[in-house]
Chains A and B, each alone.
Chain A
Amino acid sequence: MSVIRILFSYLIFPGFLFTSVVGLFLTWIDRKVTARIHWRVGPPWYQPYADFLKLLLKETIIPEGVSKVLFLLAPVLGLVAMSILAVMLFSMNMDPGSTFVGDLIVMIYLLALPPLGIMLGGSVSKNPLASVGVSREMTQYFAYELPFLITMASIILKAGGSIRFGDIIIAQQASGPFLYSISGVIAAIVILLSTQAKLGFVPFDMPEAEQEIMAGPYIEYSGVAFAMYRVVRAMMLFLLPLFLISVLWGGFGNWWAIPKFLLIVVLIVLIKNTNPRIRIDQSLRFFWLGIGVLSIAGLILAVYGL
């Protein structure tokens, strides 16, 4: 019985199926809001599902001389990581007591797996544009991960030095969300911008810049494998704002989480639509010198309890 329950939670709710269906709906919200900003009508609500279905039923081409196993398994890496992350986030928000020591570290590693899958898939696909995309993705990863980890340290400090995810939620339920303090606002800005970079949305979309390197690491992917990459992206669009709400805005155990969640998603889409793409060296400088210094300031403020 418990095996069936575990399988149900990983595969259906809140794991793979639920997260991907909601995530694909969120990509529709992204496209529709983008369209309204352009004064267009935009696609109908079933558009992401039609795209997904079409890609599933199309031919999957594997380029000549490419390792079949690595090429097809690279997208699965991100898919599995995001399904596990969904289960962890939901179970700990519904029942903060189900936490274990070091699960925050596990979550940070799970968030690192989708970019790793993209790098792996891009570098086995034997395409010069894909290699350029992979090298940018790698640089980008090192750029946003540093301020993200420093901010995580400040959140751990605020939760009384515990690296258990449930303790962060319990601490916020006891004494108000971490967001309502100076270091909390700084942490929210840093996590929001690294979310933007993790999702590959516009100011930080150099890894798959359509106009210069076509689709970057995805360039050789077609059919089912490409559909999986798109689903991973959609799941991240659902899970990263939830992660932000859990660590800073008091968790999503109640219905207030829905307006908070939609606010964060629309904010991400607005940032995406009102900014030009920056170069990879500008991104590195922005994240290490600008946002990095900001996150260290947030860490110092968190040490003094501000």
Chain B
Amino acid sequence: MANAKLWGLKKSPWVFHVAAASCNNCDIEILDVITPRWDVERFGIVLVGSPRHADALLVTGVLNRKSLSRVLRVYEQTPKPCLVICIGTCTCDNHMFATSYNVVGPYDKYLPVDVYIPGCPPKPEAIISGVVKALKRL
């Protein structure tokens, strides 16, 4: 039973895109990953429109006081088990906004993050390799 659950989750991770106040570059790179050129549907990865259908949350952007409650709410709305994949250097160490009054810090203070993908923005290949690493760790 546990094996079947793991197999299903590994073979069809549906992703929901949480754009938590990013500068849009990471978002555009995520959209690139879904285009026919990289074709992640080979691995069963599909972009879904509702967090209720999601198995993985792709979070982008530096976490600030405004977006914190929204991100937590989206995480609570997602049925478990779910992965949290943080994309971009902003999510790892707040990048160039580290000294800002409004920034409340990297995501693992609040959420169980599975994998961080650095880069400003990360290349599509880097995003795919990060997702594969997160799936292998399961």
Contacts and interface: CB of A to CB of B under 8 A. Distances in A.
Interface of A: 31, 35, 38-44, 46-47, 50-51, 53-61, 210-211, 214-215, 218-223, 226
B29 to A, nearest CB: 19
The dominant DSSP class at the A interface is loop
Interface of B: 1, 4-5, 7-9, 11-12, 36, 39, 41-42, 44, 48-50, 52-53, 55, 77, 79-81
A42 B41 contact: yes
B55 A54 contact: yes
A53 B39 contact: no
10 contacts: A41-B42, A47-B11, A50-B7, A54-B9, A54-B55, A211-B49, A214-B50, A215-B49, A219-B49, A223-B79
B44 A50 contact: yes
Nearest to A216: B49
Given A50-B7, A222-B52, 13 more contacts: A41-B42, A51-B8, A53-B8, A57-B4, A60-B79, A61-B52, A210-B48, A210-B49, A215-B48, A215-B50, A219-B49, A219-B52, A223-B79
B8 to A, nearest CB: 3
Q: What are the 8 tightest A-B residue pairs by CB atom distance, in nearest-first order? A: A54-B8, A214-B49, A50-B11, A59-B79, A53-B8, A40-B39, A222-B52, A57-B5
A43 B11 CA distance: 10
Contacts of A219: 49-50, 52
Contacts of A55: 8
A53 B42 contact: no
